[in-house]
Structure 1
Amino acid sequence: MKPNDDGKGLRQRGTFLIWGIPMILSLCGLVMIASLSLRNSMTGGNPYALPLKQFQFLGLGMTAMVCCVMFSPQALRRHCGLLWLVSLALLWGTLIPGLGLRAGGARRWISLLGFNFQPLEVLLFTMPIFLADRMTASRREGLDAFVRPTLLVIFLSVLPLMLQPNLGGALVVIGVCCLMHVESRGWKYPVLGGILAFFLIAFLIWQAPYRMRRFYAFWDPWSDPTGKGFQIIQGLVAFANGGLTGVGIGKGLQEDRYLPEAQTDYVFPAIGEEFGLLGTAFLLALYALWTWRAYRIYRRSEDPFLSLLALGMAASVVCPMFLNLGGVMKLMPLAGVPLPFISAGGSSLLFMWAKVGVLMAVDRTLRGRELGMEELPEVSGRQARRES
């Protein structure tokens, strides 16, 4: 077998991992949501309503993935400014009475054309495309490069999120933008900005009573086990109940009576109870493998736009994952963001799959360029790309 054949086989297996792992995660989420929905049958509700809805959005998500694969990254780049402005308009729309929906004291949802969705997910899809384009086109350096476009994009994106309010979503936006800036211009100013953001976030937590309750719950949940610390304690109890192998699917006690938001924010502790340490370790390994594969796509590209685009799309999946897992495992205050591909929620699932499609489109473009370079036997791949 030729050496090039081995390389092609590795690339094909890598492409499978980019969509195959999210498929496994999404199916695990469907199984878990179906298990958690069994309680509805005891109260007269339809136990199949939520799993069916999630399955429909999985189909829509895969359709979105196929559409994104069919579009070249350059085609998305040509319309990135309009896409980002539309996502900002939708974010502001959540604050308009009658258009935005209030739930849990916040306006994070919008009702449009008979559909309810979360505009943050639209923003986390369009913003990396727009920022990758602006960073690639910009010739600014130093502080000026951080202020424009990075800090400007952060400010315009985070402002409506803070008015909703949605601190968890704002943290994801800041994390994605700063990671992209580090890749493009270096780490100096994002680190300085991060220090200032830490004090600003501490002030925002201090001045908002509900955020202070979340912080106290994180710091010492056992000081008020039936109040502000109830949710995080029950999540830890769910992990403890699961042990090594879990109590079995559909047999979790916490999810049925004690664990709030078991289908969304706290789906990971529910998985820990039913499938144990082995089940949660399996999911963490899948996330780690997917992150490694996305990182490989990012590292392969010598095109600045494609490299930044791949990094931004991967970061917009990985950052919510860390915030969710850190919150439910008491490693950080709960941010209220869903677990990618697993938590119940159509908006998140749909746009997570769209990001998978963009990563596949980047990978396809890179493979096309690499195959073109292989036709030049006297020139190495890196040298050929530089000369092209």
Structure 2
Amino acid sequence: MTQDTTARGQSAPDRLRAHIRDYLSRPFFDYFLILSVVALITAVGAVMVLSSSTTWSALDSGVWTQGLRHMVFLFVGYVVLWLALWMRPSMIRRLATPLLLLTIVLLCAVLIPGVGTGLVESGARSWLALGPFTFQPSELAKVTLAVWGAHYLSDRGPVRHWLNNHYMHYCGVTVLIVGLILRQPDVGMAVVCLSVAGLVLVFAGIPGRFITGMVAAGGVLAVGYALVSTFGGGEGNYRTHRLEVYKDALLGDFDDVRGKAFQSYQGFLSLAEGGTGGVGPGQSRAKWFYLPEAKNDFIFAIIGEETGLVGGTLVILLFGALGLVGLRCAMRSTDPYLKLLAATLTAGVVSQAFVNIGYVVGLLPVTGIQLPMISSGGSSAIITVGSMGLLASAARHEPEAVSTMQSYGRPAIDRLLRLREPDPAGSRGAVRRRARPVRQSTEPVTHRRGPRSSAPSSTEGRQPPRPTGPGGGSVTGGAGSRRRRPRPGGPVRPDHHHTRRRG
């Protein structure tokens, strides 16, 4: 009666806050929300790629060719997501170093003439041809930096030396990977990898002096690169034009709408034509060869044109929700490896999404970064969706979720996907099993019929330790053999009826 009266006496905002707290405190809230948001984002991407690629697909082999191809890649990405959920975190951690070596080998293979492709099409040799498909190793590199960085930097002690420490070792590996990507050259993906590495270091707790040094070094490199791009000619003029277009976009006054500012200007026209409600799905005019890269880099302009402000806001809210729940999962996790991995993957994907949206609406310079899980792409869709499986696995190994599964069993989606129960030990499962002490026999020692040795004990005169377990002095609870204290000055007399009480 008291509870009902209290519930009736609460105001509507208080009841709403109580319901929200109730949902947020449920064990599988993060796990279910991550899977739901990823499914919604990929569904939006499938529809928009299918709509924006019809014109270019009609020139090749069929109207729906590129859209169906994107759906096949999404299906493969979901298979990788299922594998990430099925594998134990300890297994993923053991595969971190082989994944790093494989990534470096693939990045080196891209630079070999005749092996790497894509120089003519996009200005960067960034792909490897695998039969009818192409693979971009730099997409794998950004996930590798997160997975291996979380493995290498978690459970590390304090910095002992300013140069020879784990933070500097990770920075050295990052410089190697970013240098290989710049050799392609692919400045946009190099910036993404640098941002992921920076997030790993920040979430790993790098000292403030190291952050100041890295920011200063990055500023010097950026200024140097800008100067070389401005006065170096060739490809540098292309980078300079992007900065000029960025200035025009901020001011809203494009100088050359038929030349260097053509793509950004057409993106602005698409967003303006969409208005509040959009022109309708499939009714975009910009995709009729007006807007370059309509299905890739500037797909958010097509979303704004066909669905208007409502659809664009929905996409932004979906990525915002993914960021909030991913960081919440990182804070709720007790495993240092899963905590660092969840925070880095979440921040990496969300920051890449907002960079893409930012340069489409004119807030950032155009960098050629795709909108994750929405833009058309093979390796990008597979790797990004698969990495969300790692994030969902971290949510699945939250302490409340593990305890609930042990008590009440797996949820329906886990039984449908045939996933095993999570390992309570997390990423250290194999290590803890190896370090588990061997249980000793708990059978009591039979009494001897003869007297014991009459040699005085080396512990004579000392008080024996108080037993900590039910069977003796083992800290882990194991029982050792019971021995009577020798009497000073003579042998121990066998006493089969009375046991001498311990001190």
**TM-score when scaled to structure 2?**
0.70
8 Å CA contact retained: 1:134, 1:149: no
Q: CA distance change for structure 1 residues 220 and 206 in 2, over 3 Å: closer, same or farther?
A: farther
- Residue 41 of structure 2 corresponds to which residue in structure 1? 25
Conservation of the 8 A alpha-carbon contact between 2:153 and 2:167: no
C-alpha change, 1:287 and 1:50, in structure 2 (3 Å) is same
Q: Partners in 2 of 1:42 and 1:306 — Cα distance? A: 45
Shift of 1:159: 0.5
Change (3 A) 1:86 1:174: same
Match of 1:209 in 2: 237
Any residues of structure 2 matched to 1:321-332 within 5 Å, and which?
321-332=353-364
User: Does 1:47 pair with 2:53?
Assistant: no
Which of 329, 334, 349 in structure 1 is aligned with 2:366?
334
**Please, which moves more after superposition, 25-34 or 10-19?**
10-19
**How far apart, CA to CA, are the structure 2 residues paired with 1:187 and 1:229?**
42
Distance apart, 1:254 and its partner CA: 1.7
Q: 2:270 aligns with which of 219, 226, 238?
A: 238
Contact 1:54–1:344 under 8 Å retained in 2: yes
CA distance in 2, matches of 1:96, 1:374: 51
Q: Which has the higher contact order (CA 8 A, sep 6+)?
A: 1
Q: Give the direction of change, closer, same or farther, for the CA distance of 1:251–1:372 in structure 2 (3 Å limit).
A: closer
Deviations 1:134-161 (A, max 9, x none): 1125435274447523311220110111
Q: Distance in 1 between matches of 2:171 and 2:60?
A: 51
Task: Note the C-alpha offset of 1:7.
Answer: 7.1
- Map Cα deviations across residues 185-207 of structure 1 (whole Å, 9 max, x no partner): 24622243123213312322332
Please tell me whether residue 255 in structure 1 is matched to residue 287 in structure 2: yes
Which entry has the higher C-alpha Rg, 1 or 2? Answer: 2
Alpha-carbon distance in 2 for matches of 1:237, 1:114: 36
CA contact (8 A) 2:55 2:289 kept: no
Q: Does 1:121 align with 2:139?
A: yes
Separation of aligned partners in 2, 1:258 and 1:93: 36
Q: Is the aligned partner of 1:80 residue 2:96?
A: yes
**Any unmatched runs of 5+ in structure 2?**
1-21, 229-235, 408-425, 427-431, 433-503
- The answer to which of 304-313 and 217-226 deviates more is 217-226
1:381 paired residue number = none
- Residue number among 147, 152, 168 corresponding to 2:188 in the alignment: 168
The 1-side partners of 2:279 and 2:246 are apart by 27
Letter paired with 2:369 = V
Residue matched to 2:389: 357
Matched AA of 1:292: L
Whichever residue aligns with residue 224 of structure 2, its letter is: F
Choose the corresponding residue for 1:159, options 179, 188, 191: 179
User: How far does residue 179 in structure 1 lie from its aligned partner after superposition?
Assistant: 1.6
Q: CA deviation at 1:11?
A: 3.1
- Give the residue type in structure 1 aligned to 2:241: R
Contact 1:181 1:187 in 2 (8 A): no
How far off is 1:45 after superposition?
Answer: 4.2
The answer to whether the 8 A contact 1:241-1:273 is kept is yes
- Aligned length, in residue pairs: 374
Candidates 186, 197, 203, aligned match of 1:183? 203
CA distance in 1, matches of 2:304, 2:207: 36
After superposition, the Cα gap between the structure-2 partners of 1:293 and 1:247, relative to the gap in structure 1 and judged at 3 Å, is: same
1:41 shift after superposition: 6.7
307 and 254 in structure 1: CA distance in 2 versus 1, 3 angstrom threshold: same
- How far the C-alpha of 1:72 sits from its partner, in A, is 1.4
Residue 109 (structure 2) pairs with residue 93 (structure 1): yes
CA contact (8 A) 2:149 2:170 kept: yes
SS in 2 for 1:110: strand
Give the 3 Å change call, closer, same or farther, for CA 31–50 of structure 1 in structure 2: same
Corresponding residue number in structure 2 for 1:378: none
Amino acid at match of 1:355: S
Instruction: Confirm or deny: 8 A CA contact 2:280 2:307 kept in the other structure.
Output: yes
Is 1:134 the counterpart of 2:152? The answer is yes
Do the aligned residues in 2 keep the contact of 1:99 with 1:112 (CA within 8 Å)?
no
Question: Could you tell me which residue of structure 2 aligns to residue 379 of structure 1?
Answer: none
Letter in 2 for 1:233: Y
Kindly indicate which of the two structures has a greater share of residues assigned to helix: 1
CA contact (8 A) 1:131 1:153 kept: no
CA drift of 1:63 comes to: 0.6
Supply the distance in 1 between the matched residues of 2:406 and 2:32 (Cα, whole angstroms): 22
Unaligned runs of at least 5 residues, structure 1: 1-5, 376-384
> Which residue in 2 is equivalent to 1:150?
170
- The secondary structure found in structure 1 opposite 2:126 is strand
How many angstroms apart in 2 are the aligned matches of 1:93 and 1:201?
A: 27
- Alignment of 1:12 with 2:25, yes or no, is no
Q: 1:246, 1:274 within 8 Å by CA — same for their partners in 2?
A: yes
SS of the equivalent of 1:116 reads strand
Q: CA deviation at 1:90?
A: 0.9
Q: CA separation of 1:8/1:17 partners in 2, compared to 1, >3 Å: closer, same or farther?
A: closer
